[in-house]
A and B are shown apart, each in its own frame.
Chain A
Amino acid sequence: GQNIDQPTEMTATEGAIVQINCTYQTSGFNGLFWYQQHAGEAPTFLSYNVLDGLEEKGRFSSFLSRSKGYSYLLLKELQMKDSASYLCAVRDTGGFKTIFGAGTRLFVKA
Chain B
Amino acid sequence: DAGVTQSPTHLIKTRGQHVTLRCSPISGHKSVSWYQQVLGQGPQFIFQYYEKEERGRGNFPDRFSARQFPNYSSELNVNALLLGDSALYLCASSLETGTSRGYTFGSGTRLTVV
| Beta-carbon nearest neighbor of B56 in chain A | A96
> In the bound complex, how far is the Cα of B50 from the Cα of A86, in angstroms?
27
23 contacts between A and B (CB under 8 A): A31-B98, A33-B102, A42-B105, A43-B43, A43-B90, A43-B103, A44-B105, A45-B103, A45-B104, A48-B101, A48-B102, A50-B100, A87-B42, A87-B43, A91-B98, A92-B56, A95-B97, A95-B98, A96-B48, A96-B97, A97-B45, A98-B45, A101-B42
Query: Counting CB contacts under 8 A, is B44 at the interface?
Result: yes
Q: Say whether A70 faces chain B, with CB atoms less than 8 Å apart.
A: no
Contact B105 A94 (CB under 8 A): no
Counting residue pairs across A and B whose Cβ atoms lie within 8 Å, the total is 61
Q: Which residues of B contact A (CB under 8 A)?
A: 33, 35, 40-45, 48, 50, 55-56, 58, 90, 97-98, 100-108
Is there contact, CB below 8 Å, between A96 and B50? yes
Binding site for B on A (CB under 8 A): 4, 30-31, 33, 35, 41-46, 48, 50, 87, 89, 91-92, 94-103
A95 CA to B78 CA, complexed, in Å: 25
- The CA-CA distance from A97 to B56 in the complex, in Å, is 6
Query: Is A102 a contact partner of B41 (Cβ separation < 8 A)?
Result: yes
CB distance from A79 to the nearest CB of B (A): 22
Asked if residues A103 and B108 are in contact (CB atoms below 8 Å), the reply is no
| Residues in chain B near residue A44, CB distance under 8 A | 105
